[in-house]
């Protein structure tokens, strides 16, 4: 566990400083050490980001496509069981098996997140995304094969394999995007990962409708559609540059870093040089949790991610059709409305990220989620007495989705990449992935029984989590918008006894 993973090359020695300075001079001479004056990102940068987020599109697709056709796939489970045992599955066993089928993807993602650090440091950010994309292809093929083989176990195993892909790529994507993006666009571009994820959920919801592919004949075909973005990624991403920060700081390959920068016009050499000068070598797992300057960022990542995942959003995404169908004849189309709202507000977050900042969006999101959960409890408790309130319940669901995607949803996935320095960043992203997918797994598995036990009061649990996340974010999170990685890390280095620069209104911890 404590074996030192690939060391980060230190840039404090004279020879390395000369090489870095030479690289800086060459790039400045070419006029490409910063983004173009007109603010338009380089074509290679946009292509790289869009190719990377095809992975999150696949994840969103397999999150949304099992909601509407749940009854049809459950019947497949029952049919398979009857053909083997000449008896139907008891209702409670079928419910448990379906909960396992939904949640196993998140459990696989939890396991997959353990490999983020190794892959990112050993093979690079871009190459690692390409490597793990193979898990998506294998998982999708297994899910498709489950119908032909008449085995629900193959479907569950396929979702587990696909889950391994989820845990890896949802950390590798933000890591790659943040390291290739200019500082002023870093948050907005990282939000595109969530936009793609939400778009995938919507496409999955549409594909799962009975009027599209969510039928007894075509549900296996529906599960195969994620192969389209997966294969597209293999065609495009190999021609995109590797992270120049990884090439220069981790590998010491200045010529390749120069070539990547010339194409991307993303982070400046000066920014990377400052960060490299602060680098103190590789970080083991034990060192990651023991280092004093990492303690506050670790707590912040813990609070923001668990606050996002355990605040009720994932329960609605996974079980909205079942929540609505007892009250509405067209429950599946209301679920489709959830997907539309989801995409709409991730786009709103994309445009607000560099204007409002991470801190303000998180605080607004968590407080709004808490209020929505409180009102959901009241409304759900009164539905039997006042049936017309069911329309208000739908509105509250839409508002909760909006609040989540306005801040906690997208920011929780990339905030760790901004709060940690280069040596700790891959481990921080692995930690982020474990928290996110662990929270999703627990909620997907426990929400149905919790709803039966607690009834409407289950939303009070979500409200308490959101309020806790709001308070700790308000007290501890510094704003990261428009600041370099080294600038942000400097605020936390005060915990190691290193003197902070005097920047008015900058230090959040005093």
In tens, the pLDDT along 408-438 reads 999 999 999 899 888 888 999 999 989 988 8
Burial of 148 (0-12, 13-18, 19+ CB in 10 A): exposed
**Tokens of residue 31, six digits:** 């006029």
Q: Is the pLDDT of residue 320 over 50?
A: yes
Question: In angstroms, rounded to a whole number, what is the distance separating the alpha carbons of residues 10 and 180?
Answer: 20
What pLDDT is recorded for position 493?
A: 66
Q: Is the pLDDT of residue 268 over 70?
A: no
Question: In angstroms, rounded to a whole number, what is the distance separating the alpha carbons of residues 257 and 23?
Answer: 9
Question: In angstroms, rounded to a whole number, what is the distance separating the alpha carbons of residues 445 and 265?
Answer: 44
Residue from 106, 105, 82 nearest 93 by CA = 82
What pLDDT is recorded for position 41?
A: 59
What length does the chain have?
A: 510
**Structure confidence by residue, pLDDT tens digits, 82-132:** 888 888 888 888 888 887 888 889 889 989 999 999 999 999 999 999 999
Query: Does residue 355 contact residue 186 with C-beta atoms inside 8 Å?
Result: no
Q: In the structure, what pLDDT confidence band is assigned to residue 394 with cuts at 50, 70 and 90?
A: confident
Q: Poorest-confidence range of 207-216, 401-410, 466-475, 483-492?
A: 483-492
Backbone angles phi, psi at 479, to 5 degrees: -75, 135
CA distances from 229 to 58, 284, 288 (A): 7, 35, 35
**Structure confidence by residue, pLDDT tens digits, 439-449:** 887 887 778 78
Question: In angstroms, rounded to a whole number, what is the distance separating the alpha carbons of residues 313 and 403?
Answer: 10
Place of tokens 């928290």: 435
**Structure confidence by residue, pLDDT tens digits, 36-55:** 434 455 788 999 999 999 99
Burial of 310 (0-12, 13-18, 19+ CB in 10 A): buried
Alpha helices by DSSP H, listed for 86-185, are 91-112, 116-123, 125-149, 152-180
Residue from 170, 160, 167 nearest 54 by CA = 170
End-to-end CA distance of the chain: 35
pTM beyond 0.95: the answer is no
Question: In angstroms, rounded to a whole number, what is the distance separating the alpha carbons of residues 428 and 435?
Answer: 11
Per the CATH hierarchy, to which homologous superfamily does domain 42-496 belong?
A: MFS general substrate transporter like domains (1.20.1250.20)
Exposure class string for 68-105: b at 16+ Cβ within 10 A, else e: bbbebbbebbbebbeeeeeeebeeeebeebbbebbbbb
**Structure confidence by residue, pLDDT tens digits, 7-34:** 434 344 444 444 544 444 443 333 333 4
């Amino acid at each position: 566990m404590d074996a030192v993973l690939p060391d980060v090359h230190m840039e404090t020695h004279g020879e390395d400083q000369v090489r870095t300075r030479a690289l800086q001079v060459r790039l400045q001479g070419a006029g490409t050490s910063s983004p173009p004056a007109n603010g338009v990102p380089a074509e290679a940068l946009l292509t790289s980001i869009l190719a990377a987020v095809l992975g999150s599109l696949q994840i969103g697709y397999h999150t949304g496509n099992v909601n509407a056709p749940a009854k049809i796939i459950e019947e497949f489970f029952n049919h398979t069981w009857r053909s083997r045992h000449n008896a139907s599955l008891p209702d409670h066993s079928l419910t448990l098996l379906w909960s396992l089928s939904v949640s196993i993807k998140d459990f696989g993602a939890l396991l997959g997140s353990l490999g983020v650090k190794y892959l990112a440091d050993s093979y690079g950010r871009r190459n690692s995304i390409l490597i793990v994309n193979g898990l998506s292809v294998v998982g999708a093929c297994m899910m498709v094969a489950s119908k032909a083989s008449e085995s629900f176990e193959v479907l569950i195993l396929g979702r587990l394999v696909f889950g391994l892909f989820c845990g890896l790529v949802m950390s590798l994507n933000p890591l790659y995007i943040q390291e290739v993006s200019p500082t002023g666009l870093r948050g907005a571009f990282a939000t595109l990962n969530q936009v793609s994820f939400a778009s995938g959920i919507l496409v999955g919801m549409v594909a799962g409708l009975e009027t599209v592919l969510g039928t007894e004949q075509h549900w296996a075909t529906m599960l195969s559609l994620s192969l389209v973005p997966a294969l597209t990624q293999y065609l495009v991403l190999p021609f995109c540059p590797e992270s120049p920060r990884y090439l220069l700081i981790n590998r010491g390959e200045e010529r390749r870093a120069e070539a990547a920068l010339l194409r991307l016009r993303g982070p400046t050499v000066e920014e990377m040089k400052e960060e490299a000068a602060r680098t103190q070598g590789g970080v083991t797992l034990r060192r990651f949790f023991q280092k004093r300057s990492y303690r506050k960022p670790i707590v912040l990542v813990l609070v923001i991610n668990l606050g996002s995942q355990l605040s009720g959003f994932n329960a609605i995404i996974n079980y909205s059709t079942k929540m609505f169908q007892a009250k509405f004849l067209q429950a599946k189309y209301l679920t489709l409305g959830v997907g539309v709202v989801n995409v709409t507000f991730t786009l709103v977050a994309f445009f607000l990220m560099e204007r409002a900042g991470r801190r303000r969006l998180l605080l607004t999101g968590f407080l709004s989620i808490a209020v929505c959960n409180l009102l959901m409890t009241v409304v759900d408790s009164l539905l039997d007495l006042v049936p017309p309130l069911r329309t208000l319940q739908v509105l509250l669901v839409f508002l909760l989705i909006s609040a989540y995607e306005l801040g906690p949803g997208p920011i929780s996935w990339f905030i760790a990449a901004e709060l940690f320095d280069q040596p700790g960043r891959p481990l921080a992203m692995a930690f982020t992935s474990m928290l996110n997918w662990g929270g999703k797994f627990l909620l997907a598995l426990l929400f149905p029984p919790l709803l039966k036990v607690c009834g409407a009061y289950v939303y009070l649990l979500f409200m308490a989590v959101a309020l806790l996340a709001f308070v700790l974010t308000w007290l501890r999170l510094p704003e990261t918008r428009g600041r370099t990685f080294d600038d942000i890390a400097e605020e936390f280095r005060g915990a190691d006894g290193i003197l902070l620069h005097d920047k008015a209104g900058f230090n959040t911890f005093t």
